[in-house]
Amino acid sequence: MAQISNREKLLQAGLDLIHEHGFGATSVRDLVRAAGVPQGCFTNHFASKESFGVEVLGRYRAEKRADAHQTLLDDNGSPLQRIRAYIDVRTERFKRNGMRCGCMFGNFAAESSTESEAIRQELLDIFAENRAAMAYCLEAAVRVGELPEDFDCDETAAFLLSSWQGAILSAKTQRDVAPIERFKKYLFASILH
């Protein structure tokens, strides 16, 4: 069995710690302690905490990209059901940690996008990718007649993702799934009706 590199240990520890406590509240000392590596390992592998944060975001992005591929971008089944499945998959993950962690994208946006241009640019790219995946699924819904032909897929995708992030932040603050359930109920009763 291959040994896990110190870099990999740091990234995995960072993903867990930053998701639970936030980027600002997670120190390099916390990271090396959780990873079980010597203090100097961090600077051997990462130019700065900011560059480390961008890599952690990339790792989280890869996980969420898999969710999109299994739901929004999967051309099997009803497009609106794929949107529902995307929300449900993500919601179940949030429930597993008692709604405490929320979405790392929204957490980073709220916490670090004004302090780090590199993180802000990474988030812009992530949100554009998420918007494109949602728009793709909405366009499929128009093609199969689940939504009207004049439906504005791109603007609706942007609105849905902003609203989704707001619902997640509210659920995280309240430690209750109710804001997400409210978002989902309104989404399917009014916007995607």
Instruction: Give me the mean pLDDT over the 167-189 stretch.
Output: 96
Helix axes 153-174, 178-186, angle to 10 degrees: 160
Beta carbons of 148 and 83 less than 8 angstroms apart:
no
The tens digit of pLDDT for each residue in 17-66 reads 999 999 999 999 999 999 999 988 999 999 999 999 999 999 999 999 99
- Sign for the CA dihedral angle at 45, 48, 64, 174 comes to positive
Instruction: Report how far Cα 188 is from the mean position of its chain's Cα atoms.
Output: 21
Please give the structure tokens belonging to residue 167.
Answer: 């619902």
In this prediction, residue 98 carries a pLDDT of 86
pTM, entire model: 0.92
What domains, with CATH codes, occur in the chain? 1-46 (1.10.10.60), 51-191 (1.10.357.10)
- Band of pLDDT at residue 141, cut at 50, 70 and 90: very high
pLDDT at 2 over 90: no
Q: How confident is the model at residue 1 (pLDDT cuts 50, 70, 90)?
A: low
Whole-number pLDDT of residue 114: 83
pLDDT digits (tens, 9 = 90+) for 103-115: 999 999 999 878 8
pLDDT-derived band at 9, boundaries 50, 70, 90: very high
pLDDT bucket at 193, cuts 50 / 70 / 90: confident
Residue range 139-152: mean pLDDT, rounded: 98
Phi, psi of 118 (to 5 degrees): -65, -45
Classify residue 47 as exposed, middle or buried by CB count within 10 Å of its CB (0-12, 13-18, 19+): exposed
Instruction: In whole angstroms, give the CA distance from residue 101 to residue 171.
Output: 10
